[in-house]
Amino acid sequence: MADYQDILYDETDGVATITFNRPEKLNAFRLGTYDEVIDALLTAGWNRDIGVVVLQGAGGKAFGVGGDSGDKKDLRQGRGTIGVPVEGIHAAIRDIPKPVIAKVQGYAIGGGNVIATLCDLTIAGESAVFGQVGPKVGSVDPGFGTAYLSRIVGEKKAREIWYLCRRYSAQEALQMGLVNTVVPDDELDAEVAKWCDEILERSPTAIAIAKHTFNADTESIRGISRLGFQAVDLYYDTEEAKEGGQAFRDKRPPNFRGKA
């Protein structure tokens, strides 16, 4: 893609930075955002001059909050099982032979939380807030969003995150193993740059091999994810799922029990 509308892309001194650039929407992804992020990840990932990729959100208030609630799920018509290529972003993060760092400031909620979880490393500012919303709005991010999360934080904690949809501070995320380190927000840029510099001093081939072998242990989750998204696609056609989305847009509590 020659011109991006929803993201910013930069390559400087061996580091590719992809910025989700919809701060007025807390960097929520609309239909075109998914394709742009995938394109940028693949561009950076297969560029031999790039040694590390950084994902971040614009505006300081959010890393990302998942899909744009203004896009009705039953009207999605793009690529991917559910009409947007969520699986494509997950695959790109895992498949490119470069470490991907999530640089998190503000909210990392819903799909944004899953992306931060999937990245090889996650560095958070003190303002970072993590959590899930799926069961509150008639959705779920199966596979990597659930099964892989349990590998990171443990199954009991992963179930808590999904079943209760609570919010977790940066320090709480650090304690559960969801992030690698936490620094004051005004030190976040320098901290990420330091980690990138250290990675760039290492053998890119050795890192690529290490990444692929780490991934091999959880590669079965890709199949779980495909199956899960097929189920989610069917779920989005139900009155229960539609109630979740409509209640969120109406800013009222959903009545799921009356729709199941």
What is the per-residue pLDDT for 72?
A: 60
**Is-contact 179 169, C-beta < 8 A?**
no
The rounded distance, in Å, linking the Cα atoms of 56 and 233 is 28
Fold of 7-186: 2-enoyl-CoA Hydratase; Chain A, domain 1 (3.90.226)
What is the per-residue pLDDT for 135?
A: 94
Distance separating the N- and C-terminal Cα atoms of the chain: 42
The rounded distance, in Å, linking the Cα atoms of 114 and 127 is 18
What is the per-residue pLDDT for 41?
A: 98
Distance from the Cα of residue 114 to its chain's centroid: 4
What is the per-residue pLDDT for 210?
A: 98
What is the per-residue pLDDT for 74?
A: 57
Query: Phi/psi at 157 (nearest 5 deg)?
Result: -70, -40
Ranges of residues in the chain with a pLDDT under 50 are 1
Predicted structure pTM score = 0.94
What is the per-residue pLDDT for 260?
A: 60
The rounded distance, in Å, linking the Cα atoms of 156 and 133 is 17
What is the per-residue pLDDT for 252?
A: 92
Residue 223: CB atoms within 10 Å: 10
**Is-contact 15 200, C-beta < 8 A?**
yes
What is the per-residue pLDDT for 79?
A: 78
